[in-house]
Amino acid sequence: MASRKVNMNRRARAQRATTNALAMFDQEQIREFKEAFNMLDQNHDGFIDSYNLREILISFGKENPDEIIETMLAEVPGEKLNFTMFLTMFAEKLRGTDPVDVLHGAFLCFDDDSSGVIQVEEFRRVLTTMGDKYTEEQVEEFLRDAPIKDGKFDYVEFIRQLKNGVQDDSEAKKKTRFI
């Protein structure tokens, strides 16, 4: 009886996590995750397992991937990962980023007037001279897709994108998300 209750609790928890994962992504994002899942599913059986992970890791040049595979599959209930579990794990990993207020506070240190934006040149200077110093190439790559308008980096929008994903203009007009 006790094992049945534990089993039911696990199933309910898994169902809640799945529902939350599906709500976290729009249809386009889910489609992209499905494409990635299908690429990882080397034998096309609908599951990612140790065989699939081994093939991928070997193709990336890992000679003895068993330890890596063991670590990756330790997070999976059972030996295989279906698409729903794959999507749920990504949702949990994305949820694992710093809380919005922590991210906002970090950027606020460089926002003298609390406007939600930082001058791009000031931001570039900070990225290349403070803390983990980034190269010019790394900064350029980051800024290429960053929300910048009139020479200002919109960190409020950046945090929203980080937490909720990037939306195109039509999608952004349909949904209003607040931080």
Domains and CATH numbers, the chain: 2-95 (1.10.238.10), 100-174 (1.10.238.10)
pLDDT value of position 3: 44
pLDDT value for 173: 44
CA distances from 65 to 44, 52, 70, 134 (A): 21, 11, 9, 30
* Tokens describing residue 105: 């506070």
97 within 8 A of 159, measured Cβ to Cβ: no
State residue 116's pLDDT score.
Answer: 93
62: Cα within 13 Å, side-chain hemisphere: 13
> pLDDT truncated to tens, each residue of the chain (179 aa)?
444 444 444 343 444 444 466 777 778 888 888 888 888 888 889 998 888 888 877 777 777 778 878 877 777 777 788 888 888 877 766 665 567 777 888 888 888 899 999 999 988 998 898 877 889 999 998 888 899 999 999 999 988 887 776 665 544 444 433 33
The pLDDT score that the predictor gives to residue 81 is 85
* Per-residue model confidence (pLDDT) at position 101: 77
pLDDT of 96 reads 58
- Looking at residue 152, its pLDDT comes to 95
Burial class (CB in 10 A: 0-12, 13-18, 19+), 42: middle
pLDDT of residue 171: 47
Structure tokens given for 82: 């279906």
User: Residue 140 and residue 134: Cα distance in Å, rounded?
Assistant: 10
Note the pLDDT of residue 78: 77
Strand-pairing partners, residue 153, are: 118, 148
The pLDDT of residue 167 is: 60
Instruction: Check if the beta carbon of residue 51 is closer than 8 Å to that of residue 58.
Output: no
